[in-house]
Chain A
Amino acid sequence: MMKAPLATVLVLLVCAFSGCAFDLVSVKQMPVTLTTDLGGDQSIMLAEAATVSIGTSFPVHLKANTVWQKIGRTEFGDAYTSKDQVLTVEASNIHEAALVVKEDSVTGFYLLLEKKFCPASSPVKINLNKKI
């Protein structure tokens, strides 16, 4: 007698979740234009480690003493990539990204394949050693 309700609950659970995509969290993506304007600092060095939240459970960790090369300019700041560190932003999926910096603060990330901007929850001031 007790087995029937258990089976019902199991069937209900299967029905409830069988259509579930599980893809519950996406990184925020905003339209952006990347221009190959390489004026200003061509490369920067992060003097100290920093952590940038993007509103998911996966904050982005930036390592100290990494050198970042400018790849262009966006309306949210200059975009940089590094050979010293793989940079990705993560929610349910993972996206390779470039660091976007404006006035010594990380404003977010430029998604290299999607060509979209993923904003930081709030700008994070970083300690830079500017190089020529």
Chain B
Amino acid sequence: MKNKLLIALLALTTIVFSGCASGPSYSAYRSNIPQLAPEKGRIYFYRTSVLGAAVQPAVRVNGSEVGSSTPKGFFYYDCAPGEYVVETSTEVTRKLSLVMAKGQERYVRLNISMGFFVGHVYPELVDNSVGTAEIEKCNYTGVKNSQ
């Protein structure tokens, strides 16, 4: 009986964490992040929650895929100053509109909420003090695209 319970627990843990980011931690990778070009801005995207780990929609910025919302993962996107719409889609599309300035670094947390059939992932702009603290617990997932 104990063995069955242990196997079930192990299987559940594997399912929950198998979708998590497995790259280097933020603190280990930080020194590899290039310095921001003076004419650009940088958006860090990260997801702290492992809830709904199987739900990992692409993150799109102005329609282009720049990464995915991997649990415990982070990536960054360098962009020209201007107006941006960040989108994540599951059974519904959630959008965040923001304006980037030259030399600005900003943090977007990818949150998960309940859905009807699937959880919803929604991007939220957070204070830099919150972002810099929370991203420490995440692992690098890679950059797909920069402007």
Binding site for B on A (CB under 8 A): 17, 20-23, 85-86, 88, 92-96, 111-114
Contact = CB atoms under 8 A, between A and B. Distances in A.
A85 B122 CA distance: 20
30 contacts: A17-B116, A17-B117, A20-B116, A22-B92, A22-B116, A22-B120, A23-B92, A23-B93, A86-B125, A86-B127, A88-B96, A88-B124, A92-B92, A93-B95, A94-B95, A94-B122, A94-B123, A94-B125, A95-B96, A96-B96, A96-B125, A111-B97, A112-B83, A112-B99, A113-B84, A113-B85, A113-B97, A113-B98, A113-B99, A114-B97
Interface string B122-134: 1111111000000
Interface of B: 83-85, 91-99, 106, 115-117, 120, 122-128
A95 B94 CA distance: 11
Contacts of B99: 96, 112-113
Contacts, number: 53
A17 B83 CA distance: 33
Q: Interface majority SS on A: helix, strand, loop or mixed?
A: loop
Nearest to B96: A94
A112 B83 CA distance: 9
Nearest to A93: B95
Closest 6 CB pairs of A and B: A22-B92, A113-B97, A93-B95, A96-B98, A94-B96, A113-B83
A85 B95 contact: no
Nearest to B99: A112
Nearest to B86: A94
B46 to A, nearest CB: 15
